[in-house]
């Protein structure tokens, strides 16, 4: 495995690259080793920079995506919140665009088919594109036809030849993962019908900076998107942002609707753009205290955990997600502070948190072992997890939510 630094912006090619934050050397966030695996884990630089020309915030270097995504352990269907959001979105678009059996809905990075299954229930043909073979196999078993491949212009051309163009193309939480972003967006433009729409969700840079969500930064996330930078990118490929929604999911995301040039945009596009212009996402000053606030958070969380340990309280964690890997490693939290991490995903159980060696076990361990404090590493699903763990909380268990301000619930 090798790390390759960049010297030009991945989107516009500018050499005007400016520092934002450096999180040091980190393991791959989703590389959970098995408990029995004693090999030393590799670490790579994890730093964020900003393009002074197009405002795109991105990693200062990268790793071959195939290393991270050929075999993947994140399954969307284990999140109730994700499933509910997917079902509501499919219902809305089927109605809004009068989709039926003559249409085709494509999702890029379709994971285990969690979204496309909702379209199948409405009688709309679907196709998933998912590079991780293990996850694509789950989608196929669920009845979602899936191509195991990385998406780009060449694959889009092939799909058009084989089955026609998409009336709706989804790309949820994938745009941030693709180093060759121009090739990816060219693929969207190729696969989309002339009157079709692409619906893209991605975490919003403004939420990340405002709420100090540093743990959304990891090697899989090459980009940290603003509407400002995305509009420039999409326009290069003949696509306009015609609508924007702000979502609470993943700590704050944008859902963008794209269409061909010429279609009028909703007022929300101008409203979100105005917010970005006001805070100054294109200016150095906007990022100056971000790293300082992250350091203050680190000190506060460590202070709390050490005080709990000194009181002989037992501490666990909830959520073996990438966010947890980044937070644990950057804060220096290992098995001397946190005994174990629970996660609903059986594919992660029996493994360890990358870089810190904390074992991952099923959620039932909270009631069986009754730790006093649980660090909510998957804080972006706080409401869902707290509801799931009502019984544990009723017995006196407490959760420490670390981001954006450490608090006990």
- pLDDT tens digit sequence for 290-314: 999 999 999 999 999 999 999 999 9
Say how far residue 16 (Cα) sits from the centre of its chain.
26
Residues 139 and 250 in one domain: yes
Residues 218 and 356 reside in one and the same domain = no
Last residue of a domain, one of 255, 287, 319: 287
**Extended beta strands in 335-408, E state:** 341-342, 360-361, 373-376, 398-401, 407-408
| Same domain assignment for residues 380 and 309 | yes
DSSP three-state, residue 239: strand
Comparing 30 with 257, which gets the higher pLDDT?
257
Least confident of 70-84, 96-110, 243-257, 259-273: 70-84
User: Alpha-carbon distance 246 to 254, whole Å?
Assistant: 5
pLDDT band for position 70 (50/70/90)? Answer: low
Domain boundary among the residues 287, 320, 339 is at 287
DSSP H/E element including 57:
strand 57-59
Could you say which of 234, 261, 287 is where a domain stops? 287
Measured in degrees and rounded to the nearest 5, phi and psi for residue 137 equal -60, -35
**Residue 7, both tokens:** 């010297």
| Residue of 230, 233, 300 lying closest to 272 (CA atoms) | 230
CATH number of 325's domain: 3.40.50.720
Which DSSP state fits 132?
Answer: -
Q: Do residues 283 and 305 both lie within one domain?
A: no
Task: Dump the DSSP string for 86-147.
Answer: HHHHHHHHHHHTT--TT--EEEET-TTSTTHHHHHTTT--EEEE-S-HHHHHHHHHTT--EE
Q: Is residue 262 part of a domain?
A: yes
Domains held by the chain: number: 2
306: its two tokens:
């050490």
What confidence tens digit (pLDDT) does each residue in 109-130 have? 999 899 999 999 999 999 999 9
The predicted model gives 385-406 an average pLDDT of 94
Exposure of 142 by Cβ count < 10 A (0-12 exposed, 13-18 middle, 19+ buried)? middle
Distance CA 170, CA 173 (A): 10
Mean pLDDT of 158-164: 92
Contact status, residue 75 vs residue 56, Cβ threshold 8 Å:
no
Residue 167, C-beta contacts closer than 8 angstroms, at least 6 positions apart: 97, 99, 103, 104, 105, 193, 196, 197
Model confidence over 204-224: pLDDT tens digits?
999 999 999 999 999 989 999
Do residues 162 and 238 share a domain? Answer: yes
Euclidean distance between the first and final Cα of the chain, in Å?
A: 41
Q: According to the model, what pLDDT value does residue 262 have?
A: 80
For residue 197, the domain's CATH number is 3.40.50.150
pLDDT of residue 15: 98
Whether residue 251 is found in the same domain as residue 170: yes
Q: Where in the sequence is the domain holding 399, given as residue range(s)?
A: 300-408
Identify whether 139 is part of a domain: yes
Q: What are phi and psi of 164, to 5 degrees?
A: 90, -175
For residue 309, tell me if it sits in a domain: yes
Shared domain for 256 and 355, answered yes or no, is: no
Q: Is residue 339 domain-shared with residue 250, that is, in the same domain?
A: no
Domain shared by 239 and 324, yes or no: no
Would 22 be classed as within a structural domain? Answer: no
């Amino acid at each position: 495995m090798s790390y390759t630094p960049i010297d030009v912006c991945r989107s516009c090619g500018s050499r005007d690259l400016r520092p934002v934050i450096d999180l040091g050397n980190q393991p791959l966030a989703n590389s959970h080793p098995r408990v029995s695996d004693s090999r030393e884990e590799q670490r790579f630089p994890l730093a964020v920079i900003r393009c002074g020309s197009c405002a795109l915030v991105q990693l200062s270097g990268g790793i071959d995506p195939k290393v991270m995504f050929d075999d993947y352990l994140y399954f969307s269907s284990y999140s109730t919140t994700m499933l509910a959001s997917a079902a509501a979105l499919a219902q809305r678009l089927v109605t809004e665009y009068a989709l039926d059996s003559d249409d085709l809905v494509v999702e890029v990075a379709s994971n285990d088919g969690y979204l496309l299954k909702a379209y199948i229930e409405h009688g709309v043909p679907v196709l998933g594109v998912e590079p991780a073979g293990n996850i694509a196999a789950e989608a196929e078993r669920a009845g979602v036809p899936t191509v195991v491949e990385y998406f780009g212009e060449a694959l889009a051309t092939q799909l058009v030849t084989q089955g026609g163009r998409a009336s709706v193309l989804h790309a949820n939480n994938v745009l941030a993962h693709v180093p060759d972003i121009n090739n990816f967006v060219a693929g969207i433009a190729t696969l989309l019908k002339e009157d079709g729409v692409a619906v893209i969700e991605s975490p919003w840079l403004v939420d990340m900076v405002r709420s100090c969500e540093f743990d959304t930064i990891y090697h899989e996330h090459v980009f940290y998107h603003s509407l400002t930078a995305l509009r420039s990118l999409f326009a290069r490929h003949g696509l306009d942002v015609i609508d924007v929604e702000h979502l609470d999911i993943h700590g704050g995301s944008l859902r963008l609707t794209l269409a061909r040039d010429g279609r009028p945009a909703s007022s929300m596009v101008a409203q979100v753009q105005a917010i970005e212009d006001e805070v100054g996402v294109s200016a150095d000053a906007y990022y100056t205290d971000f790293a300082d606030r992250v350091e203050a958070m680190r000190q506060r969380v460590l202070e709390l955990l050490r005080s709990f340990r000194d009181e002989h309280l037992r501490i666990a964690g909830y959520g073996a997600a990438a966010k947890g890997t980044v937070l644990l490693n950057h804060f220096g939290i290992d098995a001397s502070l946190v005994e174990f991490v629970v996660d609903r995903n059986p594919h992660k159980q029996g493994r360890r948190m990358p870089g810190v060696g904390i074992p991952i076990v099923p959620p039932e361990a909270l009631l069986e072992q009754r730790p006093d404090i649980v660090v909510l590493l998957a804080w972006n699903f706080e409401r869902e997890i707290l509801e799931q763990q009502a019984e544990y909380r009723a017995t006196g268990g407490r959760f420490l939510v670390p981001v954006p301000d450490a608090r006990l619930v």
